[in-house]
Amino acid sequence: MTQAQIGVYGLGTMGSALALNMAGHGFEVAVTNREIDWIAPFIADAGDLAARLHPHNKLADFVADLKTPRVILFMIPSGAPMDMMIDQITPLLESGDTIIDGGNANFHDTRRRSKTLKDKDIHFVGMGVSGGEKGARHGPSMMVGGTEHSWHQLRPILRAIAATYQDNPCVDHLGPDGAGHFVKTVHNGVEYADMQVIAELYGLLRYGSAWPPSDIGKLFEEWDKGPLKSYLVEITGKVLQYTDPFSGHAVVDVIKDAAGQKGTGRWTVVEAVRMGQSTNMIEAAVGARAWSAEKETRQEMQNHFGGARDWFTVDPGVLADAFLAARILCYAQGFRILDAASKEYDWALDMGRIAEIWRAGCIIRSALLDDISEAFADQPPHSQLILSPKFTETLARTIPALRTVVSAAVTGGHAIPALSSALNWFDTMRQGFGTANIIQAQRDFFGYHGFERLGEDGQHHGPWWD
């Protein structure tokens, strides 16, 4: 039998879909799984593609079936399982082989693993994969970090299986070691914020204007035909129009309002803060998920304070503009963190290229990303999207709508952590002279920390120390 061109370890949701995608593009794929009972049913369900899938029950046989230098993709949970598998497989590998972690790993782990394996001349690739099961099966967006050697090995396979946008595969080598996983982490941070904004807009229409879920779904369907076009808007439109077969209610009404989270949103926030940045929309989204999980406390609070919200009468067109403004600000915050990390880790991330490979296949794909890639091509001042001529005009036009929505919602007692964070960030950034002079005066007063005087060099102290 021909040797396999790539091995896929982990036949869960993502690994099995990626293996089928590769086989569907003509690649010979060796496959295995921790629980070997899953392997035979996977092959049985693969139909014609089974001819190019090489199942193995033993790790040593799986490795031996691979062409050298070997390429092995792991699609398993991040953290300890990945370390354990690296320990198991490394003794079976040879110089020049590549291990890929396609899971949502913390990029610090990826950097550590790349360094450790480099000493054994094994290459380690941290690859962000986005698009969920369907994306993995029919075309994901993939963010690759690692060595040029590995990219050379992987490129033909990844370009073949990736989603395409105007014939351009949504995959690229973004930088060394943790670059790919960091970009995926920020992708997910943006995903959290965009989802939270959508949930807040839904809440305003549902609880402020008493729109039934199906009507809100139809509005999202409309929005998906214009500048707000995106995968998340599309699926929200669909989700809201489903009826629960058991109760006959809208499906959203039978889903517990407590959101899960696996860590990537939180990592985005932690890294942003560690680098002296802030991404208050993503912080708001991570926080909102955490608060949502405190359902009992919220119910107790409602008993004490009441959960009533005022009538909210804002035109859907105004909501759409507010959404567009918030979405621009959300992406802008994501790209600011990417820029900061790129400088700190010397990754030389190409922001325009990242926007390009996010245009199809991934969860945050949206019409706006096309404009963002063009905005980066024009080199916006200070690399800031909010200063890009491509967006300043749109922001000037849509911020009044965001202000209208935020003011009405806040006055009416509607919780809108992400929308209000977006506006707060915008208002902070448009003040050439803010209020941090007071912070500096306080710091100097209580701690002799010193401050800069306007137009003068050096550190100074206030008259309170004379």
Ligand X SMILES: O=C(CO)[C@H](O)[C@H](O)COP(=O)(O)O
| Residue 334 marked as a ligand binder | no
Q: Contacts with ligand NDP in 52-111 (CB under 6 A)?
A: 75-78, 81, 84-85, 103-104
Answer for which of 12, 96, 352, 413 binds ligand NDP (CB under 6 A) is: 12
Q: Which C-beta is closer to ligand X: that of 89 or that of 100?
A: 100
| Residue 192 marked as a ligand binder | yes
Question: 184 catalytic, yes or no?
Answer: yes
Burial of residue 69 (CB within 10 Å: 0-12, 13-18, 19+) is: middle
In order of 242, 298, 369, the CA distances from 104 in angstroms are 30, 31, 22
Q: Which of 123, 91, 129 lies closest to 110, judged by CA?
A: 123
Whole-angstrom Cα distance, residue 400 to residue 407? 10
Candidate ranges 6-14, 91-99, 107-115, 291-299; the one touching ligand NDP (CB under 6 A): 6-14
Residue 11 binds to ligand NDP (criterion: CB under 6 A): yes
322: partner contacted, choices ligand NDP, ligand X, none (Cβ within 5-8 A by kind): none
Residue 10 binds to ligand NDP (criterion: CB under 6 A): yes
Whole-angstrom Cα distance, residue 90 to residue 287? 39
| Residue 33 marked as a ligand binder | no
> Least distance (Å) from ligand NDP to the CB of residue 43?
14
178: partner contacted, choices ligand NDP, ligand X, none (Cβ within 5-8 A by kind): none
> Least distance (Å) from ligand X to the CB of residue 79?
14
> Least distance (Å) from ligand X to the CB of residue 452?
41
Question: 295 catalytic, yes or no?
Answer: no
> Least distance (Å) from ligand NDP to the CB of residue 84?
6
> Least distance (Å) from ligand NDP to the CB of residue 35?
3
Phi, psi at 157, each rounded to 5°: -70, -50
Q: Which C-beta is closer to ligand NDP: that of 35 or that of 119?
A: 35
> Least distance (Å) from ligand NDP to the CB of residue 333?
21
Catalytic residue, from 191, 271, 283, 356: name it.
Answer: 191
Candidate ranges 28-36, 65-73, 158-166, 233-241; the one touching ligand NDP (CB under 6 A): 28-36
Assign 3-class secondary structure to the chain.
CCCECEEEECCCHHHHHHHHHHHHCCCCEEEECCCHHHHHHHHHHCHHHHHHEEECCCHHHHHHCECCCCEEEECCCCCHHHHHHHHHHHHHCCCCCEEEECCCCCHHHHHHHHHHHHCCCCEEEEEEEECHHHHHHHCCEEEEECCHHHHHHHHHHHHHHCCEECCEECEEEEECCCHHHHHHHHHHHHHHHHHHHHHHHHHHHHHHHCCCHHHHHHHHHHHCCCCCCEHHHHHHHHHCCCECCCCCCEHHHHCCCCCCCCCHHHHHHHHHHHCCCCCHHHHHHHHHHHHHHCHHHHHHHHHHHCCCCCCCCCCHHHHHHHHHHHHHHHHHHHHHHHHHHHHHHCCCCCHHHHHHHCCCCCCCCECHHHHHHHHHHCCCHHHCHHHCHHHHHHHHHHHHHHHHHHHHHHHCCCCCHHHHHHHHHHHHHCCCCCCHHHHHHHHHHHHCCCECCCCCCCCECCHHHC
| Residue 104 marked as a ligand binder | yes
35: partner contacted, choices ligand NDP, ligand X, none (Cβ within 5-8 A by kind): ligand NDP
| Residue 303 marked as a ligand binder | no
Q: Which C-beta is closer to ligand X: that of 238 or that of 262?
A: 262
Residue 13 binds to ligand NDP (criterion: CB under 6 A): yes
| Residue 420 marked as a ligand binder | no
Contacting residues toward ligand X, per CB under 6 A: 104, 130, 132, 188, 191, 260-262, 264-265, 363
| Residue 424 marked as a ligand binder | no
Q: Which C-beta is closer to ligand X: that of 188 or that of 236?
A: 188
| Residue 262 marked as a ligand binder | yes
Residue 375 binds to ligand NDP (criterion: CB under 6 A): no
**127, 144 contact by CB (below 8 A):** yes
| Residue 132 marked as a ligand binder | yes
How are strands ordered across the β-sheet holding 71-74?
Answer: 53-55, 29-32, 6-9, 71-74, 98-101, 123-130, 141-145, 171-175
The position carrying tokens 């500096």 is 440
Catalytic residue, from 28, 184, 271, 356: name it.
Answer: 184
Residue 132 binds to ligand NDP (criterion: CB under 6 A): yes
176: partner contacted, choices ligand X, ligand NDP, none (Cβ within 5-8 A by kind): none
| Residue 306 marked as a ligand binder | no
12: partner contacted, choices ligand X, ligand NDP, none (Cβ within 5-8 A by kind): ligand NDP
Give the residue nearest to ligand NDP (CB).
12
Q: Which C-beta is closer to ligand NDP: that of 85 or that of 326?
A: 85
Question: Binding site: what residues are annotated?
Answer: 104, 130-132, 187-188, 192, 262, 289, 443, 449
Q: List active site positions.
A: 184, 191
Question: Binding site for substrate: what residues are annotated?
Answer: 104, 130-132, 187-188, 192, 262, 289, 443, 449
Binding residues (CB under 6 A) for ligand NDP: these are 10-15, 33-35, 38, 75-78, 81, 84-85, 103-104, 129-130, 132
